[in-house]
Amino acid sequence: MTVLINWIVSAIAILITAYLLPGVMVDGFGSALIVALVLGILNALVRPIFLALTLPINLLTLGFFTFIVNALLVMAAAAFVPGFSLSSFWLAVIFGIVLALITYILNWIVPDRLDRRV
């Protein structure tokens, strides 16, 4: 159940981020769900490999190269999902930052487990 809630929260965060940033287009909630799924898979499988391969430049830039890796993953998701597009690479960098902030806020609002009551 927690995975489903996190998936829906991620899709809502993608819709909010697309609404806030001009140049980002998401066709609807279904496309946002697919984008959230693709980004989740890319972050789980590809991101650790990219971060390991770019470790020297990441250390040299004090971790800021991670933003570039995140932007590349967002651009890859835009290439895979037909209802999701970005107008530029730098917009993908900004999209990744704003998406992380909105996801953090939404995860703070939505409880981790529904059965945990006060």
Residue 116 lies in a domain: no
Residue 117 lies in a domain: no
pLDDT digits (tens, 9 = 90+) for 43-92: 999 999 999 999 999 999 999 999 999 999 999 999 999 999 999 999 99
Residue 17 lies in a domain: yes
Q: What is the distance between the alpha carbons of residues 59 and 16, in angstroms, rounded to a whole number?
A: 32
Residue 114 lies in a domain: no
- pLDDT value, residue 3: 87
Q: What pTM does this model have? A: 0.88
Residue 23 lies in a domain: yes
Domain count within the chain: 1
Residue 54 lies in a domain: yes
Residue 95 lies in a domain: yes
Domain of residue 64, residue span: 2-109
pLDDT digits (tens, 9 = 90+) for 9-35: 999 999 999 999 999 999 999 999 999
Residue 118 lies in a domain: no
33 contacts 7 by C-beta, under 8 angstroms: yes
Residues contacting residue 67 through CB under 8 Å, at least 6 positions apart: 93, 96, 97
